[in-house]
Structure 1
Amino acid sequence: MKIAFDAKRFFHNTSGLGNYSRDLVRILSQYYPENEYILLNKNRSERGKEILERQDVRFVETSKGKFSRQLKMGKDAQREGADIFHGLSGELPLKWSKEPIRKIVTIHDLIFMRCPNYYSFFDRKIHLWKFKKAASSADKIIAISEQTKRDIITYLKVPESKIEVIYQGCHKAFKEHQSNELINTVKEKFNLPERYILNVGTIEERKNLLSIVKGIKDTEIPLVVVGRKTDYYKKVLAFIRKNKIDKQVLFLEGVSMDELAVLYKSADIFVYPSFFEGFGIPVIEALFSKTVVITSNTSCLPEAGGKDSVYIDPRNDLDLGAKIRFLWENESERKRRAEKSFTFVQKFNDEPIAAQLMNLYKKIL
């Protein structure tokens, strides 16, 4: 079987969609090396180069020309003799030749419909048009959570029978054992406090970092934040400075995946009070790291967190603060929840996810 992928995100996104794309190709190649996996894009990068070194994975340069991703990538896949084309980020090419090929698209979320205030009018219209086109031309749609499946049915008017829920996993670094040498190096490099709570994700309004900062005000609990800064960061920083808790909050950027794994495993609590997510990969990363999670009781986050994570209303700073303090002061409760959650999170391991993907590919053929 030949499977072609739109590899734009594979090569050029450092987080989110890029991690999903790289992990998906990696696990398919690992567990089903008898197939051929074709990565289509106008260029390649250093990202994912270890995956491209596998015999069953190869890069194909998309035909030159304007809008080649939309107008030529599909025909390129057909020219390569691909049986299936998989769009990994909510889009499919618009043009195809007469050669037979089956089409799958992964839709991660419809946040631009759920939370329109975070997007411009123009962006919402473009996203909706692209997603509707892809959903219409696909033979099957992969939703990465039950929440996303419900949103696809509601907003894109797609029949339930066309949608398959296949969860995503996370990078292998969070499942590996990091050496004491690396752990000590990371602690020294970032000057980490002895104990801390952790938040990971783009520093934007939807992720709701300000609620965590409000929750630890009037405590001595250190907070480590890993994520790219947006304009929202200024709002968070203003609150930190006004309340004189600068020494309590540490912002990190440019963290490698292995370093991030150490940060998760060394944290006492992972806190993720997002208003809305398509899935919430950082929650899975924390659970694989055996770190207890506090997250929102909204969207898909209870799907990712399981019954032993701690849930809060993301609009209730007092509730969040109380639950942070409770877990911070109760080591046995942290360990109990972390151990039970580690058992739960095994459903997001590579092998079962790869098997679900392969079963879907075989089914549409």
Structure 2
Amino acid sequence: MRIIQMLPTFAYGDAIGNDTLSLQDTLRNAGYETEIYADVIDAKLGKNAAKQAEDYEYRDGDIIFYHLSTGSDLNYKITEYPCKRIVMYHNITPPEFFRGYSAGAEKACADGLRATKYLASKTDLCIVDSAYNGQDLIEMGYNCPMEVLPILIAFDDYKKEPDRKIIKQYDDGWVNIVFTGRVAPNKCPEDIIAAFYYYKKYIQPKSRLFLVGRYDGTPSYKAQLDAYVRKLDLADVYFTGHVRFDEILAYYHIADVFVCMSEHEGFCVPLVEAMYFKVPIIAYDSSAVGDTLGGSGLLLKDKSPQVAAEAMNLAVTNKALREQLITGQQRRLEDFEHDKIKKKFLEIIQSFLAGDAR
């Protein structure tokens, strides 16, 4: 018996790619035979990290563990093999977020949702990153067994040396507001910009906003954001674009508050990263954000600029609240410890296999 992890795109450094590698290590250390197959394999992962999906040859007893996150022919190909299927659903962004900005992204999301519905009757077990994702599947017709298992996050990587140039340049007493993640329509950076405008103009002039993440996937959307910043005549807004990992670490080190106004997340790894670096979190209560925070952080029901800005100010200046937020986030962080998630993952696999045996 082999457990074959499959995914459309095996990317270097992204949450799903890291999760796939961590699950492989967990399975191998537990004595399971396992391999990774993907349609697209990032060269930065190395030539032995995975095999091409088209080269997969079914063996009797194989179990396919499929990471579902986008549109792909592989979503349908996996049903051609006479084996048990475990689907790990990372959620798919509603395509309407990309309408008018990226026809390719809109199509990939629409195709992914169609495939997700197609797989409902062809899946033996679902593993979801969050309860929100589980509800998403239930609404799409899934009635197979379902388990919630957060993404395995490579916390050891966060202990690496941050970029000292960034820290030296910006750790200077100004308030640094940070968001990390793709600059994409579903993440609503325009709402962070609006809140920052209010914060900088009416509360703290000595403040900066860093939107740390790539924006090359939706250039027209980025142009719209640039125009918005110009219209506001707003200084000290920094779009970093794609950055090195040590630079990402540096932005967390200088952050005074982490702000997320996203309207669609299946899990949102940056929230956990902010917990790790003891940065107080202000986040809009949407999709899986509340699940991931698990009662920690400061969750907003209202994303108006004034409300968000005043919340940011409290998180920065109110020492008691700041300590309360960080303490709560540290407690929540314990739920994402590697050993806990690995143990639960192996229990899920063992239970699934025992069910097969019965």
CA contact (8 A) 1:203 1:209 kept: yes
CA offset digits 1:75-128 (Å, max 9, x no partner): x2x23x663211112536345355xx321111122432xx73535685565223
Give the match for residue 130 of structure 1.
Answer: 115
What is the 5 A alignment of 1:1-365?
2-10=2-10, 12=11, 14-29=13-28, 32-41=29-38, 44-49=41-46, 59-63=50-54, 73=56, 76=57, 78-79=58-59, 83-90=62-69, 91=75, 93-98=77-82, 101-112=83-94, 116-119=96-99, 123=108, 125-154=110-139, 156-159=140-143, 161-173=144-156, 176-179=158-161, 182-188=162-168, 191-194=169-172, 195-217=175-197, 218=201, 219-220=204-205, 221-229=207-215, 230=218, 231-246=220-235, 248-313=236-301, 315-365=303-353
Distance 1:242 1:116 in 2: 26
TM-score, normalised to structure 1's length? 0.81
The list of structure 1 runs, each at least 4 consecutive aligned residues, that deviate by more than 6 angstroms after superposition, is none
TM-score, normalised to structure 2's length? 0.82
In structure 2, the CA distance between the partners of 1:171 and 1:308, relative to structure 1 (3 Å rule), is same
CA contact (8 A) 1:108 1:144 kept: yes
Distance 1:358 1:279 in 2: 21
Instruction: Structure 1: give runs of 5+ residues left out of the alignment.
Output: 53-57, 65-72
Distance 1:210 1:291 in 2: 21
- SS of corresponding position for 2:37: strand
RMSD, aligned CA: 2.7
Read off the aligned partner of 1:158 and give its amino acid letter. Answer: Y
Q: CA deviation at 1:59?
A: 3.6
Aligned pairs, number: 332
Give the match for residue 356 of structure 2.
Answer: none
In structure 2, the CA distance between the partners of 1:212 and 1:42, relative to structure 1 (3 Å rule), is closer
Give the match for residue 67 of structure 1.
Answer: none
Give the match for residue 72 of structure 2.
Answer: none
Distance 1:306 1:291 in 2: 16
Read off the aligned partner of 2:238 and give its amino acid letter. Answer: L
Q: CA deviation at 1:5?
A: 1.2
Instruction: Structure 2: give runs of 5+ residues left out of the alignment.
Output: 70-74, 354-358
Distance 1:311 1:197 in 2: 16
